[in-house]
């Protein structure tokens, strides 16, 4: 049997077994909560694809990064742990959720910021649940879809229900959803449920027309903000490696500018990146694009700590 290829820790991170003593901690969650008719295994290689995409940049980790006006991890010695991938399995949603929630809670309790690489868009369900007992959170979802289904195929914790489940937590007091577009985002009852709860829905068209300030105006000052990013928020020209690529999405520049704008207003409490499909990334540029978004999150967190 061929030996599996080794994977380096995510750019700037240190391979570790514990998040103790680190400012942030990365981990992979290859599988979430499956649907009967949808294969969630197509996303399983995403965490390692992100790591591999920026592995060669390790030699330049101390170089000036023009996204931040300085080195990625600053010159103050900010440390990031890479805790590897959870041992999730394709068909065991309850066990996968338990693993994700426990790992996220471990990181929070260690005083670090959790950064999760999914996996499909059901993986944020237990990630968000792990913040129970924390100060009230704003959730910024950057996504083409609003994910407010009560259930799909009888499953209430799949990727179509992520924000609906988030809305049920006492520690979630504001939801801002940016980048919505195209068909499949919801039916009329889901739109009504989101609006009745008080979720702020900002379409990609609005952002293209009025700028990211449309979103930033809804982010409260100094309140912890959890960012969950679905790769399909990006325009299909920049991100073909998703399950449902569609035109009219956000650009890389809009997304990293949005992350920077959030960080200027509020502490980033956590970050998830989901829905990447490695087999659709023909030349590796899509994985690199996604990984650079994660780098931008880490760089902003480093400047807040």
Per-residue pLDDT of the chain (305 residues; tens, 9 = 90+): 334 457 899 998 999 999 999 999 999 999 999 998 888 899 999 999 999 999 999 889 899 999 999 999 987 779 999 999 999 999 999 999 999 999 999 999 999 999 999 999 999 999 999 999 999 999 999 999 999 999 999 999 999 999 999 999 999 999 999 999 998 878 999 999 999 999 999 999 999 999 999 999 999 999 999 999 999 999 999 999 999 999 999 999 999 999 999 999 999 999 999 999 999 999 999 999 999 999 999 999 999 98
Q: Which position has the token pair 């591999």?
A: 52
Residue 70, both tokens: 């300085």
- Domain range for 120 is 13-304
User: How many domains does one find in the chain?
Assistant: 1
Q: 178 with 141: CB under 8 angstroms?
A: yes
Predicted confidence at residue 1, as pLDDT, reads: 36
Residue 3 lies in a domain: no
From residue 206, alpha-carbon distances to 60, 186, 196, 250 in Å are: 37, 18, 21, 11
Residue 284, both tokens: 């590796």
Name residue 29's beta-bridge partners: 118
Alpha helices in the chain (DSSP H): 46-53, 93-109, 124-129, 162-167, 188-197, 204-210, 213-216, 252-265, 285-304
Predicted TM-score (pTM) of the model is 0.96
Residue 19 lies in a domain: yes
Predicted confidence at residue 75, as pLDDT, reads: 75
Residue 4 lies in a domain: no
Pairing relation of β-strands 80-85 and 172-180? unpaired
Predicted confidence at residue 5, as pLDDT, reads: 59
Q: 273 with 118: CB under 8 angstroms?
A: yes
Residue 51 lies in a domain: yes
CATH number at residue 255: 3.40.800.10
Predicted confidence at residue 3, as pLDDT, reads: 40
Residue 1 lies in a domain: no
- The sign of the dihedral angle between the CA atoms of 116, 204, 178, 123 is negative
Predicted confidence at residue 161, as pLDDT, reads: 96
Predicted confidence at residue 297, as pLDDT, reads: 98
Residue 203 lies in a domain: yes
Residue 158 lies in a domain: yes
């Amino acid at each position: 049997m061929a030996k599996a290829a080794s994977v380096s820790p995510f750019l700037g991170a240190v391979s570790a077994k514990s998040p103790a003593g680190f400012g942030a901690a990365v981990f992979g969650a290859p599988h979430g909560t499956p649907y009967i008719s949808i294969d969630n295994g197509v996303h399983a290689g995403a965490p390692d694809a992100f790591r591999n995409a920026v592995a060669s940049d390790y030699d330049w980790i101390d170089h000036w990064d023009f996204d931040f006006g300085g080195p990625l991890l600053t010159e103050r010695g900010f440390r990031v742990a890479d805790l590897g991938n959870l041992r999730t399995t394709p068909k065991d949603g309850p066990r996968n959720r338990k693993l994700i929630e426990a790992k996220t809670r471990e990181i929070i309790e260690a005083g670090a910021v959790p950064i999760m690489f999914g996996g499909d868009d059901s993986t944020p369900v237990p990630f968000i649940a792990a913040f129970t007992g924390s100060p009230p959170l704003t959730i910024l979802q950057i996504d083409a879809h609003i994910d407010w289904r009560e259930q799909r195929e009888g499953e209430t914790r799949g990727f179509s229900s992520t924000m609906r489940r988030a809305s049920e937590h006492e520690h979630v007091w504001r939801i801002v959803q940016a980048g919505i577009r195209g068909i499949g985002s919801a039916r009329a009852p889901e739109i009504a449920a989101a609006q009745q709860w008080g979720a702020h829905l900002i379409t990609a068209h609005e952002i293209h027309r009025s700028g990211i300030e449309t979103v930033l105006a809804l982010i409260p000052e100094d309140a912890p903000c959890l960012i969950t990013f679905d790769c399909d928020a990006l325009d299909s020209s920049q991100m073909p490696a998703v399950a449902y690529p569609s035109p009219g999405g956000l650009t890389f520049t809009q997304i990293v500018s949005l992350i920077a704008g959030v960080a200027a207003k509020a502490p980033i409490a956590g970050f998830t990146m989901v829905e990447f499909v490695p087999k659709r990334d023909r030349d590796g540029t899509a994985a690199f694009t996604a990984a650079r978004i994660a780098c931008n999150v880490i760089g902003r967190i480093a400047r807040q700590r």
